[in-house]
Each structure stands twice: as structure tokens, then as C-alpha cells.
């Protein structure tokens, strides 16, 4: 409600209540008796302005009530919003009047919307399956890369074993196992982990955890413990690496 319109209506109502002339029947009104001694009547105030001060006082009393204290005049944004809503209402009304009222039109519209929803569902399923195929293909490609790197470490271990460097051979076998498990998505690549942390990332009690745990103990004893390495250590590490390969 706009404040200016509210005040205008209140003022008009008060004036109407306080300034309506008498509505007594004409028969009940006494006609004035003209006499020779009567003095001519002077100019009188129009009836619609006689009670104007009283009407204004009543209007002020009404406007001072509680319900009118928080009324604010509409802003420019409110007016534009009202105009936009009115325009939208007119457009929707015109669009509704253009829709045929035949029973077949409602049925055709219903089946058309159902067909559109099914088509959208089929497109979504196709795109989802296509993305999954792309991800699987990428993972297969990544697996080949990881497997090749693991094989390179194993080949290097065989070369070191041929020279009799059992310590370096076990070291290469250990990293072949780590790269192999990274290619199997057992963990994300992070070279800052310790050998024991790699073992803890595998499922507890699994065959892979036991195999990597045994290989880690051989590697730690030779590499970090500076214990002498032998061909038996190399063969033991090789057997544990084979247990980690996918069957």
C-alpha cells in the first residue's frame, strides 16, 4: 500500500462522512416563509466546506493509528518489479488463450513431454557410459606405463645380480614392487612415504600386504641396516615380487 494513496482515501472517506448534506425528505422540510420585514440573506459558506476542519482532524486521527506508522512509499525498484510482473501476467494470459482446448492436444502434449524426458535420459546414459569407457581406456594406458616402469626396475635388478651386487639388486626389486602396486591403484604416488607406510596402506592381512611386508623387511635390513646381502636375499625378494603381480 502506498502512503500517498492511503492518505488520499482516508481524507476522502472522512470528508464523505463529515460533510454529507442532510437527506431528510422534502415533505419534512419546512419551507421558509417570506415576509416583508425579513432581511436579505447574506452569502453563506457552501455546505461541502462547513465541516472541513473536523474532517481534517478525523483524518489525522486515523493516520496516526498503529497500522499507518510503518507504511512506506514504494521505491522505484518496487514499481519496476510490479510493472514486470504485470507484463509477465499479460504474456502468460495471452499464451494460455492461444492453447487449443481440444482433448487430443492435452494427450499429445503429455506424450510429447514423456518422449522428451526419455530421450534426455538416453542421452545422459550414453554420455555417462562413454565417459566411463574413456576413463577405463586411460587407466589401461596408465597401467601399461606403470607395468613398463616396474619391469624396467626388475630388469635393472637382474643386471645388478649378474654383476654380483646383491644389495643394489634387492633395492631395485623393492622399487619394482612399489611401482607395480601404484599401477594397481593401491595408493597415490608419494615418494615421501617410508617403507612401513606403504605396507600400512594395503588391506590388513591381505596376501599383498604380507608379500610387500616380507620384501620390505629384506630391503630395510640390507639397505638401511647395512647388513651384507647375498644371493638368497635376492631370490627371496624376487619371489615376493612375483606374488604381487596380478594373476
- Considering the domain architecture, whether residues 154 and 232 belong to the same structural domain is answered as yes
Q: Give me the pLDDT at residue 42, please.
A: 47
Q: What is the pLDDT of residues 4-41, one digit of tens each?
A: 555 555 555 555 555 444 444 444 444 444 444 444 44
pLDDT (tens digit per residue) in 170-183: 999 999 999 999 88
Q: Are residues 148 and 220 in the same domain?
A: yes
Range of the domain at 11: 1-19+48-92
Q: Are residues 158 and 78 located together in one domain of the fold? A: no
Nearest to 198 by CA among 167, 222, 220: 220
Q: What's the confidence (pLDDT) of residue 55?
A: 79
Q: Does residue 99 form part of some domain?
A: no
223 and 164: one domain?
yes
Dig out the grid coordinates for 167 from the structure.
Answer: 644389495
Total domains in the fold of the chain: 2
- Residue 69 forms part of a structural domain: yes
Confidence at residue 54, expressed as pLDDT on a 0 to 100 scale: 79
Alpha helices in 65-164 (DSSP H): 76-98, 103-162
Within this chain, do residues 78 and 154 fall inside the same structural domain, yes or no?
A: no
| Measured CA distances, 233 to 120, 173, 194, 237 (Å) | 61, 11, 21, 6
The reply to whether 5 falls in a domain is: yes
Cell of 236: 627371496
Query: Taking residues 209-222, what's their average pLDDT?
Result: 94
Amino acid at each position: 500500500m502506498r502512503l500517498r494513496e492511503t492518505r488520499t482515501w482516508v481524507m476522502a472517506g472522512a470528508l464523505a462522512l463529515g460533510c454529507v448534506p442532510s437527506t431528510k425528505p422534502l415533505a419534512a422540510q419546512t419551507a421558509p416563509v417570506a415576509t416583508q420585514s425579513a432581511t436579505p440573506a447574506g452569502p453563506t459558506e457552501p455546505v461541502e466546506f462547513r465541516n472541513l476542519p473536523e474532517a481534517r482532524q478525523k483524518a489525522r486521527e486515523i493516520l496516526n493509528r498503529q497500522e499507518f506508522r510503518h507504511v512506506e512509499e514504494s521505491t522505484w525498484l518496487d514499481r519496476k518489479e510490479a510493472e514486470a510482473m504485470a507484463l509477465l501476467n499479460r504474456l502468460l494470459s495471452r499464451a494460455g488463450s492461444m492453447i487449443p482446448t481440444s482433448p487430443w492436444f492435452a494427450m499429445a502434449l503429455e506424450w510429447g513431454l514423456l518422449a522428451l524426458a526419455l530421450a534426455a535420459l538416453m542421452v545422459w546414459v550414453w554420455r555417462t557410459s562413454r565417459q566411463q569407457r574413456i576413463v577405463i581406456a586411460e587407466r589401461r594406458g596408465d597401467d601399461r606405463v606403470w607395468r613398463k616402469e616396474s619391469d624396467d626396475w626388475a630388469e635393472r635388478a637382474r643386471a645388478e645380480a649378474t654383476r654380483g651386487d646383491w644389495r643394489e639388486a634387492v633395492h631395485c626389486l623393492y622399487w619394482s614392487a612399489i611401482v607395480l602396486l601404484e599401477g594397481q591403484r593401491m595408493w597415490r604416488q608419494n615418494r615421501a612415504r617410508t617403507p612401513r607406510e606403504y605396507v600400512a596402506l594395503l588391506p590388513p592381512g591381505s596376501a599383498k600386504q604380507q608379500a610387500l611386508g616380507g620384501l620390505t623387511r629384506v630391503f630395510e635390513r640390507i639397505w638401511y641396516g647395512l647388513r651384507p646381502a647375498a644371493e638368497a636375499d635376492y631370490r627371496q625378494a624376487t619371489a615376493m615380487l612375483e606374488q604381487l603381480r596380478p594373476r
